[in-house]
Amino acid sequence: MQKSLLALVFLAICASLQAQQTMDNDAVLKLVKAGLSDNLIIATINSQPGTYNTTADGLIALKSAGASDKVMGAVLARAAAPGQPSPATIPMTAAASSTAPAGTSPDDPNAPHEAGIYVYDETAASGSKMAMLEPNVYTQGKTGGMLASAMTYGIAKVKMKAVLRGAHANARVTTSQPAFYFYFEKTGAGLSNASGIFGGTSTPNEYTLLKFDQKGDTRETLIGSMNAFGASGGTDNKAIVPFTYTKLRPGVYKVSLSVSLQPAEYGFISSGGSVAVGPMGGTTNSRVFDFGRN
């Protein structure tokens, strides 16, 4: 009885989607909220033409509504190649690779890719060596100095931390020396879209790679401090992972790590998120491109 009811709901939603001619983010959200399986949602995405919002805000909205990584991978693949059929199931590590144009290797960093940060893991299986790091959003918390601040009427500084939900990032690598590729939306310096996935940044120099500490079912790292007179940015030097970068062509950079990664959780935070802590505890940019090393 329950399966029959679910089938009727699916048919009704499909009829509604067919009436609007094309799929989009709102249509995907309807399917997710209806409780349909990933396979049904992905089959619908792949079987109909669509126009999708794959900016950071669009992806975050899908994630917040409960869309799985497989569904978001199908959206990314369909947006990148709207005229090409997409596989029914797209693993997280292969989703970003499918953004490479037909006829090019998904493992080739020199092939055109959708804007974003990609990790290249030489130890991964062929066809899934490059994976996009999905933008995540952190919340801000306080840690350390609370008692001293209270005793000094807010003069002593309180440390601020960035907190990510979940004990582990979705994107995983097994090598201690992965490479990273930044593909910016526009090729001119300072011209990245403010509302795009990079939030207006245009070079890897505007990012800091930080190690996150696992705290139960969350991950956190220090990003600054504040007191009654204002706030200042400042990450824990022990958490910073140094790197160098090379410009491959306009808008495309390769990032190489200066040290080996230990098994842990990590994330790229832009200078806006890691430095500019607002006077009331807010930040100018709360995006982080997170991953973990097994």
pTM for the structure as a whole: 0.58
101 part of a folded domain: no
Question: What's the sign of the alpha-carbon dihedral 59, 64, 70, 75?
Answer: negative
Residue 232 has pLDDT above 50, yes or no: no
Average pLDDT over residues 153-177: 81
Quickly state the pLDDT bin for 272 (edges 50, 70, 90).
low
CA distance 58 to 198: 13
Q: Which tokens belong to 235? A: 């990450």
Q: Are residues 86 and 186 in the same domain?
A: no
Q: Are residues 287 and 152 in the same domain?
A: yes
70 part of a folded domain: yes
103 part of a folded domain: no
* Residues 1-44: tens digit of each pLDDT: 444 544 444 445 455 544 445 788 998 898 888 888 888 888 88
**Domain of 68, in residue numbers:** 2-90
Average pLDDT over residues 90-115: 61
232's enclosing H/E stretch is strand 230-233
Q: Are residues 149 and 83 in the same domain?
A: no
